[in-house]
Each structure stands twice: as C-alpha cells, then as structure tokens.
Amino acid sequence: MSAGNVARDAAHKKGLERIAIEAARDMDVPLSPLGEKQAAAVGRYIRSQPAKVRPTAVLSSPYLRARRTAEILIAEAKLAGVSLVVDERLRERELGALDRLTRRGIEKLLPDQAALRKSLGKFYHRPPGGESWCDVILRLRTFLDTLGRELAGERVVAVCHSAVVLCFRYILERMTEEQILAIDAEADVANCSITSYQCASGRLELRHFNFVAPLREEGARVTAEPDAPIASR
C-alpha cells in the first residue's frame, strides 16, 4: 500500500434517545439526504485530484451507511475499474449489551457496567457481548496485514466509522492509550471526513486528519453525529 485514506461514513438517520431508529439493527441504518450530499462532495473532491493520487482500491465496512457512502464516492469520483470490496473488519465497534443505551440509561439499567467502564477506562472496557478498543485494534491489525499482502503499491480508501478511524491512527502512528484518548477528547470525527496517509521512507505518515474542506467547499453541512449521549464508542 503506497497511500491510504480512511473516510468516516456520512451522516445517517439516528436518534439521540434510547435510541429510537427506523432500522432494526445499527448495521442497517441508512444514510440521510445530508449524508448522501456529503459523500458526493468527497467523491467530487477525489475526482479533482491528479490521477497519480486517486484511489485504486476502495474497501468498506459492511454497515449499510458505510457501503452507501463508498458507492456514492466511487460513482462521483468516476473511479473506472474500481469495485467496492466489503470487509467486516472495518465495522463499527460493537457495544453489545450497551447498544442503543444512553449514558444515563447505562447508569440506571447497568450500573455495574458503568462502574467497570469508569474503573478500566474506555480503551480497555469490553461491554458484555461487545468490544473494547483493543478488540477493534486487533482486527484492524489483521486488516492492515491483508492490505500489505494483497494490495501492496495500491492507493487505498477504507470507509469506516469514528472509533475505527481513531484505532487506525493508534496503530499506524504507534500511539499510546493516553495519546489516542487525548485526540478522541479534542473533537468528534466528522461524518465523511478524510484521514489520509502517504508513504515516506517506508512508513505511512499522517497527511490529514478529520479533513472536511471538500464538504465546506460544496456547502455540505459538517456534522459529527456525536456519540456523547450514547454509550461511547
């Protein structure tokens, strides 16, 4: 892999309460009209770049909103000959028993989990039936190994989710728990933002993080769908 881009999925239809959403499962939540506009803006931005830096491979989380983001991106960027590859290792962090509960709901209904998360911290806490950040990092390490074997020399875009973007940074930049959690605390990863790396001296080096200029240039509202009212990713 000679260059890599990690894009967060675009805005989607998700409420902020227990959480009431139209889809039965989180993985079936569709893009909102705004999300489609955001994805199209990023696709056109990619099309405007020199051919030598445009992606030659696009991979996506299997979640509906991520797949749709990737499909729009490929179409608007006019990436001839590039087909979407879905990889389950790019899926959102699984919250298990905490799924669709707000912070207040966790404290009321699962106080032992609220206490355990406070004790262990969000990096190491694994909710029942769910994943810790370390679990996500483990599957992403295998994903990166696959890229190195099968897509060496390619320019790759991976469409994924907010916590996954941060876990990629943790791996690629060889961070500590404290460093990545400090970045997480600074700001939410924006919908359809771009985090990009370029190869230098045999290593991938960060070029952009949370890059949203393509959205602003086209007048697409920048959103983050923050996880704060929900069980934190």
pLDDT digits (tens, 9 = 90+) for 133-174: 999 999 999 999 999 999 999 999 999 999 999 999 999 999
The confidence score (pLDDT) of residue 15 equals 39
pLDDT value at residue 1: 58
Find tokens 């190195």 and name the residue. Answer: 148
Phi and psi torsions of 16, nearest 5°: -125, 20
Mean pLDDT of 7-15: 64
Q: State how many domains the chain has.
A: 1
pLDDT at 225: 66
How would you classify the pairing of strands 57-60 and 155-160? parallel
| Average pLDDT over every residue of 25-31 | 91
Instruction: Tell me if 228 is assigned to some domain.
Output: no
Q: Is residue 225 part of a domain?
A: no
Question: Average pLDDT of 220-226?
Answer: 82
Q: Which domain holds residue 82?
A: 3-217
Report if residue 142 sits inside a domain. yes
- Is a pLDDT exceeding 50 seen at residue 227? no
Give the position of tokens 């696009």: 58
Flag whether 138 is in a domain: yes
What confidence score (pLDDT) does residue 170 get? Answer: 98
pLDDT confidence of residue 87: 99
230: in domain: no
Q: Residue 227 falls within a domain, yes or no?
A: no
Q: How far is CA 52 from CA 2, 3, 84, 232, in A?
A: 11, 11, 20, 38
Which tens digits make up the pLDDT trace of 48-90? 999 999 999 999 999 999 999 999 999 999 999 999 999 999 9
pLDDT given for residue 4 in this prediction = 64
Question: Does the pLDDT at position 228 exceed 70?
Answer: no
Q: How far apart are CA 142 and CA 216, in angstroms?
A: 34
Phi and psi angles of residue 153, each rounded to the nearest 5 degrees, phi first:
85, -5
Distance (Å, whole) CA 60 – CA 42: 15
Give the span between the Cα atoms of 177 and 165, in whole angstroms. Answer: 15
**Given this model, what pLDDT does residue 25 score?**
85
- State how far the Cα of 62 lies from the Cα of 86, in Å rounded to an integer: 6
Length of the chain: 233
Rounded CA separation 70/78 (Å): 12
Residues 6+ apart with CB under 8 A from 80: none
- CATH code of the domain covering residue 136: 3.40.50.1240
pLDDT in tens, 88-125: 999 999 999 999 888 899 999 999 999 999 999 999 99
Residue 17 has pLDDT above 50, yes or no: no
Report if residue 126 sits inside a domain: yes
Note the pTM of the prediction, 2 decimals: 0.89
